Structure 1
Amino acid sequence: MTGMLNTFQQGIHPVLPKPNHDEAARQEFAKSLKGFVQGRLLPGLGPVHGSRAAKRFEKAHGRPPADRHDIRKAMVGDEYFQHYAATNRIAQELIWDTVIDSIERQLPALEAEAKALSAKNKAPLETRADFPTPRYVTALDIHCMPGGYAEAETPDAIAAGALYDRGVYLYAMGYMGPTNDDMGRSVANYIKRNLPDFTPANILDMGCTVGHSTLPFKEAFPDAEVIGIDVAGPQLRYAHARAAGLGLDVGFMQRDASATGFADESFDLIVSHILLHETSGKAMPAIFKECHRLLKPGGYMIHADLPPFDLMDPFTQFILDNETLYNNEPFWGAMREMDQPALARAAGFPADSIRFDTAPMAIMEFAAAAESYTAETTESLAEREFTAGEYAPGGGWEVLIAQKAVK
């Protein structure tokens, strides 16, 4: 996997913070360190568990580890696991730190550019300084991102969006593609293939941050009105300018996914991409109910994330649950234990319309089709397995799909 780290470089657009030579070197080091943790340290956890940690647990408890909680008890005292967890956390914090210098050095110019680009975007931008941001967003720095998604509001604030845009590319180690849009592109491709007669005219992306996953829906359905919503104003201002810089008229509005304020039956398609695990146990059922209210009859709700725990073995659950404990993702594990189909049924979706499926990764398909990519590149992508972190999928993204009944 290490050889794949530099296959994809981030695509340039007008509001992306541009590192100088030294900043770029530090950012590349941070990305490579993340790759080293994933590709070299992480694979050692399985043998450590099997050869010694599980045996210590069984000796102490008279039985082998039964679930991810037992596995964690067996592993946390092991020096190898401690080395892995500490290095992974350092790599995560370093990613953000290496980007901040670039942003601070050119922030006035980026704010001016964003303002000019937003004026060219024909779709709406709506933010408000007094927006009541949910506590699950403001209580901690999600992903260890300094300041969190929703920085202090000023009329032109975009720094959090710029940090997220560049930082997420490094966090994903380039595997989300040049514009960090693999999730949205994968879901849009899935819809085109599996619902060929479905042509949504109004599309809503919930929890859009800077619109990475929003823009592919405008490309896939150019005649549709596409709106991205988020609770963080700086992300939305950056997203609106970013969309214009990439040549797309997409609207962005500061709304809470659990209570959007849009009229009933406003949308044909509602999507989200790694949103649900960053909400809360109270917000998630409300989001499903809001999706049902907002959809037109026959419309679809599609939430893309990683699989629930019952689709994973206990050791994989343990690995992924490290995000809960060490990456400021408090709802990560709890969300994967919730019965999502049951929540969808409770929200009003017919049981026979609800299912989990896999949307193949668009970047894998692109690499397989492009003559410029080597067989080694394509094979490396295809062989990736779920390891750790939301940007470490195997062959595709898990999607929860539900369709509102036709009257």
Structure 2
Amino acid sequence: MLNTFQQADHGVLPEATPEEAARQEFVKSLKHFIQQGILPGLGPVYRTRAAKRFEKEAGRAPADRHDIRKAMVPDTYFQHYAAVNRISQELLWDSVIDSIDREGDALIERTAAATAANAGELRIAEGFEVPRYVSSLDIHCMPGGYVGRPGHDDLRLGALYDRGVFLYAMGYTGPDNDDMGRSVCHYIKARLKGFSPKRILDLGCTVGHSTLPYKELFPEAEVWGVDVGGPMVRFAHARAGAMGLDVNFAQMNAEKVDFPDGHFDLVVSHILLHETSGKAMPQIFRECHRLLAPGGYMIHADLPPFDLMDPFTQFILDNETYYNNEPFWGAMRELDQVKLARDAGFPAETIRFDTAPMAVMMFAQSEAAGYSAEASESVAERDFVAGEFAPGGGWEVLIAQKQD
């Protein structure tokens, strides 16, 4: 699908000059060229060159994504791909920082006004301890990561993420940058018929991209987004206000959420799990079970597990682990998430993986914002293709229901 989406203004988005906008559009186009023009060449390079070299040296064919990496890393074509991909990521943040620095206090003032417009609660914890798997590196190579540095904890980091992640996704997150949350909402509407949660929690919400669609779908519900990054939830609260939605945000750790047992009917996350750790994930699943009321659902949306892909596609996606400061990216997909959910207390018969088709793909295919089971199945049946923003045109969702 040719992406024609541009990010919609919402009042606290950094305002780019024509020159800054051109740089940002160049980076987005560069990322698209890498995916469409360079990445497809990796397959032939592997089959005709790298795999044969590996087999000659090792005396056997490559067995898994790790062997494929060993075969590919020495190849100059792969080195070129990896280098330009990393450079595009660093250029991405640089292009947005220019706009934020130029706006300075004006952006802060707009954000403060938007914060006041959100009647939802905002909780920032004093002396909050950020997990090391978040604070020890700049995730996605974003300067400051999700939490910033001591003495530099302000709203501008949220603005950087808001614009930057749209460019990273090459616009495939849609005009409101919310495709993942909107896709899961469409899935709930189509597949969990009659389910109408009164309290909803979004774990690892960053700036609330995926949180807001739940307030749109369930306007009477009490919606909370929590994240370990203070700058993220501050900006998320302002962003919601700028978009006319009253949503609550808090600085909390998904491993230990400050709400009572059984408080929520729906607990969700969107590309959170691969940014945690092997110790954190089981605890997050247990916390989801604790927080849910009987009959409530846990839904975690991410990219598909590796066992649903061929080893070469695994290798392509695993480049995030090595070149984009995502150390748990690959390891998370090797964990048995169904077992983790079962061990957390969810009945085995309620646990399953499914595909929530991307809302922007549905829009492009149907020329409408609707959702149908037939269209869902047509997207879900597609094969995973290395280089797609969401392989197969859909987000993989792990679903479990707490026993009544």
TM-score normalised according to structure 1 size: 0.94
**Counterpart in 2 of 1:395?**
393
**Mapped partners of 1:171, 1:79: distance in 2:** 25
For residues 336-375 of structure 1, what are the structure 2 equivalents within 5 Å? Answer: 336-370=333-367
**Counterpart in 2 of 1:28?**
25
**Mapped partners of 1:130, 1:388: distance in 2:** 41
Shift in CA distance, 59/182, structure 1 to aligned 2, threshold 3 Å: same
**Counterpart in 2 of 1:277?**
274
Offset of residue 183 of structure 1: 0.4
**Counterpart in 2 of 1:47?**
44
The question of 1:166 aligning with 2:145 is answered no
**Counterpart in 1 of 2:403?**
405
- 2:386 aligned partner, one-letter code: T
Deviations for 1:283-333, whole angstroms, at most 9, x for unmatched residues?
Answer: 110000000000000000000001111111110111111100011000000
The question of 1:321 aligning with 2:285 is answered no
**Mapped partners of 2:287, 2:384: distance in 1:** 33
The question of 1:330 aligning with 2:327 is answered yes
Shift in CA distance, 385/94, structure 1 to aligned 2, threshold 3 Å: farther
**Mapped partners of 2:185, 2:297: distance in 1:** 12
- SS of the aligned residue for 2:7 comes to coil
Out of 130, 134, 146, which is 1:133 matched to? Answer: 130
**Mapped partners of 2:145, 2:272: distance in 1:** 15
**Mapped partners of 2:112, 2:386: distance in 1:** 40
Shift in CA distance, 221/327, structure 1 to aligned 2, threshold 3 Å: same
| Structure 1: runs of 5+ lacking an equivalent | 373-377
**Mapped partners of 2:391, 2:61: distance in 1:** 29
- 1:197 aligned partner, one-letter code: G
- 1:92 aligned partner, one-letter code: Q
- Asked if the contact 1:68/1:318 (under 8 Å) is kept, the reply is yes
**Mapped partners of 1:239, 1:107: distance in 2:** 18
Out of 86, 91, 95, which is 2:92 matched to? Answer: 95
**Counterpart in 2 of 1:375?**
none
**Counterpart in 2 of 1:56?**
53
Shift in CA distance, 129/155, structure 1 to aligned 2, threshold 3 Å: farther
Q: CA RMSD in A?
A: 1.8
Deviations for 1:250-281, whole angstroms, at most 9, x for unmatched residues?
Answer: 11000000001210000000000000000111
Offset of residue 357 of structure 1: 0.2
Task: Give aligned-pair identity as a percent.
Answer: 67
**Mapped partners of 2:130, 2:331: distance in 1:** 21
**Mapped partners of 1:199, 1:100: distance in 2:** 40
Offset of residue 393 of structure 1: 3.1
**Mapped partners of 1:300, 1:348: distance in 2:** 12
- SS of the aligned residue for 1:337 comes to coil
- Asked if the contact 1:111/1:156 (under 8 Å) is kept, the reply is no
- Asked if the contact 1:172/1:392 (under 8 Å) is kept, the reply is no
**Mapped partners of 1:29, 1:362: distance in 2:** 25
For residues 83-232 of structure 1, what are the structure 2 equivalents within 5 Å? Answer: 83-152=80-149, 157-232=154-229
**Mapped partners of 1:385, 1:20: distance in 2:** 38
| Structure 2: runs of 5+ lacking an equivalent | 370-374
- SS of the aligned residue for 2:397 comes to strand
Ranges of 4+ aligned residues in structure 1 off by more than 4 Å: 153-156, 381-385
User: Is 152-161 or 255-264 further displaced after alignment?
Assistant: 152-161
- SS of the aligned residue for 1:394 comes to helix
- Asked if the contact 1:308/1:336 (under 8 Å) is kept, the reply is yes
Shift in CA distance, 156/119, structure 1 to aligned 2, threshold 3 Å: farther
Out of 290, 293, 297, which is 2:287 matched to? Answer: 290
User: Is 113-122 or 330-339 further displaced after alignment?
Assistant: 113-122
**Mapped partners of 1:175, 1:346: distance in 2:** 35
Offset of residue 370 of structure 1: 2.3
Out of 234, 255, 277, which is 1:237 matched to? Answer: 234
Offset of residue 179 of structure 1: 1.0
**Mapped partners of 1:107, 1:249: distance in 2:** 26
Offset of residue 128 of structure 1: 2.8
**Mapped partners of 1:76, 1:287: distance in 2:** 35
**Mapped partners of 2:97, 2:89: distance in 1:** 13
- SS of the aligned residue for 1:223 comes to coil
The question of 1:16 aligning with 2:13 is answered yes
